[in-house]
Structure 1
Amino acid sequence: MIRPAMVYLSKRLALLLTTLLAASALIFVALDWLPGNAAQLALGPDAAPEAVAELERQLGLDQPAWVRYGHWLSGLARGDMGVSSAYDGTPVASLLFERLAVTLPLSALAMALTVVLALVAGWWAASQHGRWGDQLVMAVTQLGLAVPSFWLGMLLVLLFAVKWQLLAAGGFPGWSAELGGGLWPGLQALLLPALSLALVQAAILARIARSALLEVAQEDFMRSARAKGLSRRAALWRHGLRHAAIPLVTLGGLQFTNLLAGAIVIENVFTLPGLGQLLAKAIANRDLVVVRNGVMLLTTLVLVLNLAVDLLHGWIDPRLRTRTAA
């Protein structure tokens, strides 16, 4: 049992490293081919050519592309992402990880809401198959598939912040109680943006959960559970959800990557100081060092999450480990 698991893990880690290397090359080439001069944009159109040339030297823009790519990779290996030209020489790593303290909790809260809403809706629809409850859930999820998350976010602001005045319309107080924030104020500030992300993703996951549960309901062990006196609803809740986990875990992992990407847009709607707002400003200021490392960080998070989903699949279904090791 140990050897197939180790082979499975080693192959997944090798694939992760190879994909990260390929992604880094694509990110570097895509940003390096952008038109314009980052040093000229930072100093303004009226800057002296000598000043522009000096800033190009400081940023390493006077070196060949392959040299700059090698320096970037070696810096990433050491944990050195360089400094930002738009933020007065602030280390890029501190900028990114400071903003991740907003983006990751937002995505995690949205994912938690997505899972809870989707499982309850999918379980209810499967238990009411062919009746009004099933039809209601399908209609609501169909509507959720058609609604963009940013539009839903603005609608939630109108309802909960403007009309009912229950939550703030935007901004983030921080996680530190000494600076006027704290855990509860921070979660309150993230609730509306997380809900606007979760409702759209929950509509997708609820449909998959319903289909998986309906398929599991036809299995022999479910008939045995019903024969012992369990209702259809109770049998699906106690036994069906666990056996329908593999497609739900697969889609859930993909959805978390969508939530990370959606958080980039939602942060600008709710004026949250997260990674999305940082990247938007960096793109506007042509701060390529921040953009390059920020996109690479997001790519790494997505790939590591996909690796975690693969490992979870192997834990849920040992047959996957055996087939991969063979």
Structure 2
Amino acid sequence: MKIEMGESLFYSWLRHVKECHVVQTNWKPSSSWQLQNEEELQRFMKATDEHFRNKYGYGVYKNNSLSQLLMQAEIDAIGICLSENGAEIYAVDVAFHESGLNYGDHRETVTRVTKKMIRTALCLIGYFSMIKSEIIFAAPKVHNAILCDLEPCISDLNALFLENGYHFTARIIANDDFNDIVLKPILIASDGVSDTSELFMRGYQLVKMFGDEPRSTRQRSTIMANSKALSTDTLSELKIGKIAQTLLREALESGKVDDEEISLMLTKEYSKNVFGIDFPLLVLANEECDSVRYYAKPLIIKGVQYRLCSQWFEVSANNDRPFLLAWLKENGGPAIINEN
């Protein structure tokens, strides 16, 4: 079976950064599936065809019918994230062209990427009946000239989604963003992952096994997930629970937090005031506690085992993220670089 490294990377990214409960690579529709919302799909296909043809001169569909377009569809990685607010889908196409994204000439490249993203939207509407999704095209290297032409197309596509009542977001992840939004977050999330099916993660862990060699120190400093400088873009991709499990855990286990503050972290009042959470940040691992409120994996601070609170939220009515990032900034967490 052919394995693509880009697909493996996004399989792990969807699982561990976006925390999707169901992830599949190389998703294709089946001819036996019942297509939903066909009239709506035809209408949206016509609207997008007219828009991109009239505004840019792009023949996105090249006379393909809706059925032809859908049966040609293949999404490199698709993830479904379930929550009390419903389900959200992340659909990713990834292209790794070492010399830069290229599907022929400049114009053809822009047209094909636009077509891929529209086709993905049509699949989500027709087979999942989804109106809340993120549609991503990712490539580690895209020439600026192509990006300059792609970005207005993606902006127009998002406007068309909104006009038609779809809560879809189309986005391009390329160049430095690929590093900040994909690679760095997945390296942060790699600790403790031992699934042998995740080839990108296993490859990275193999490199880390030899990371203590002096000759590699400088190289490692540029890619290690626990670098003392992380961009706001990198952190924005990580859910608050993942930040707590990785960066907060690392800061606590470093032994740099004084004993008095560790004692205060065992209290509900201090934890609420400093971290915004409703339970003590730490409990001793050998003491009884409400286990569903704490991560199972213990952390060790100066030889003592504790369990870390898992009750982190980032909704408008209860947002713990600014509390956690503020504490990390003041107590040896990563420096946060605003790149917006």
TM-score by length of 1: 0.22
Instruction: Looking at secondary structure, tell me which structure has more strand per residue.
Output: 2
Structure with max Cα Rg: 1
Larger RCO, structures 1/2 (Cα 8 Å, 6+ apart):
1
